[in-house]
Structure 1
Amino acid sequence: MNFDITELGVQEKYRLLNGGVTPRPIAWISTRSKEGIDNLAPYSFFTVASCNPPVLLYTQVTQRSGIDKDTLQNLTETGECVVNIVNSHLLERMNATSASIAIDKSEFDLAEVEHSPSSVVSPLSVTDSPIRYECTLREVISIGDLPAGGTIVLLDVQSVYVRDDLYSDDGINQQLVDSVGKMGGDGYSLTTNYVALNRPE
């Protein structure tokens, strides 16, 4: 079956992209508002943009209301965040933080997420996250402001935390990370099976 994009509605396009580009890593992003409210929200349109300089990229999909999510508002006002990597232990609490709550409430409290101070930025870190990237805002690029449009956010990595047992032989042990991926709809994938293939010469 082939789909002509010009003949599709917004939700049809969203489902084809969201359901086909899978599994996607999840950036569980913590920010702090200028009023001092701690925010925590998951984003699955997320990847590495550059390793030198180290830059992460996530995309905020424009809500039907057209109003920016708290994460982007906080980032543009304070310029700091933490990207917390999600493992299976954190899956349900991460999902709970995707709920829409009042701007003066904290998702850390809503989902009972244990937190700790970060090393070089003011937003809190998720204590049980196995890998955390403390970042400053580099650039915000608007792709479209219509419903389901996208805003690309580039983040400069300033500090990286890796849980002690995960780091060996100058790298992160991929079999132990236990990272979670986002599928289409309400689905998630778990990295219970790990396959390593040598690259051909």
Structure 2
Amino acid sequence: MNIDLSTLAPTQIYHLMTQTIVPRPIAWVLTESGELNYNLAPFSYFTPVSSNPPLMMFSVGKKPTGEIKDTTRNALETGKMVVHIASVDLAELVTQTAATLDHGESEVSANDIELVEFEGFELPRIKACPIAFGCSLFEVKELGETPQSLIFAQIDTIYIDDSVLGDRTDRVVVDAMSVNPLSRLGGSEYAVLEKTFSVARPK
């Protein structure tokens, strides 16, 4: 089957892309909507883009009303965010935080999500997540007819739970199976890691 995207509506293209670009990591992004009021939302159009500077990017659409989403608004206003890597056992919570709430309503409070101090960073982090990136806003690019907001976040600090670290002493190694990261597929489907393997790269 060959599919000409010029014949499809944007919603159909989205449906195809999310089913074929798989699996995708999920950025579970916490931002501040006001003093001690936190917004939390998942995004699976998400990837690292650079190591120098250390940048990651996630793509944020619009609310059904056409307004920018709170994550974009908060990032622009405060310049700070925490990007979490959620484990499989948090799938229900991650999904619940995808709901569209009015600006100022907190997904953290609505779902009783426990936050803890993120040492060395302005915002807290989700206690249950094994990995968290404390980030500063680097740039926001708007593209497409909607348009979509591409948020480039510069990583300032990384939290890694000791339980997911390997036993090497010469460098930090993260055990992916211990992280057990939640991966996004199409529709309402997620995936889990069942095993890892290595293939030597050519010299």
Q: Considering the TM-score relative to the shorter chain, is it more than 0.5?
A: yes
Question: Contact 1:117 / 1:123 at 8 angstroms: preserved in 2?
Answer: yes
What's the counterpart of residue 161 of structure 2? Answer: 163
| Matching of residue 153 in structure 1 with residue 155 in structure 2 | no
Q: Secondary structure at the match of 2:90?
A: helix
Quote the offset at 1:198 in angstroms: 2.4
Letter in 2 for 1:185: G
**Alignment partners' CA distance in 1, 2:70 and 2:32:** 9
Question: Contact 1:80 / 1:121 at 8 angstroms: preserved in 2?
Answer: no
Please identify, of 188-197 and 73-82, the stretch whose mean Cα deviation from structure 2 is larger: 188-197
1:1-16 aligned at under 5 Å gives the runs 1-16=1-16
1:35-93 deviations in Å (ceiling 9; x for gaps): 54211100001110111221111111334432111100000000000001010121111
Question: Contact 1:139 / 1:155 at 8 angstroms: preserved in 2?
Answer: yes
RMSD (Å), alpha carbons: 1.5
**Alignment partners' CA distance in 1, 2:101 and 2:64:** 16
**Alignment partners' CA distance in 2, 1:119 and 1:77:** 22
Question: Contact 1:66 / 1:145 at 8 angstroms: preserved in 2?
Answer: no
Quote the offset at 1:178 in angstroms: 0.5
Quote the offset at 1:97 in angstroms: 0.6
Quote the offset at 1:4 in angstroms: 1.4
**Alignment partners' CA distance in 2, 1:74 and 1:36:** 13
Q: Percent identity?
A: 30
Normalised TM-score (structure 1): 0.92
Gaps in structure 2 of 5+ consecutive residues: none
What's the counterpart of residue 130 of structure 1? Answer: 130
Q: Secondary structure at the match of 1:15?
A: helix
Structure 1 runs of 4+ aligned residues shifted over 3 Å read none
* Length, aligned pairs only: 199
Question: Contact 1:58 / 1:153 at 8 angstroms: preserved in 2?
Answer: yes
Gaps in structure 1 of 5+ consecutive residues: none
User: Which of 161, 185, 188 is the matching residue for 1:186?
Assistant: 188
Quote the offset at 1:123 in angstroms: 2.8
Question: Contact 2:33 / 2:104 at 8 angstroms: preserved in 1?
Answer: no
| Matching of residue 113 in structure 1 with residue 128 in structure 2 | no
Please identify, of 44-53 and 70-79, the stretch whose mean Cα deviation from structure 2 is larger: 44-53
Quote the offset at 1:167 in angstroms: 1.9
User: Which of 195, 198, 201 is the matching residue for 2:197?
Assistant: 195
Normalised TM-score (structure 2): 0.91
Q: Secondary structure at the match of 1:185?
A: coil
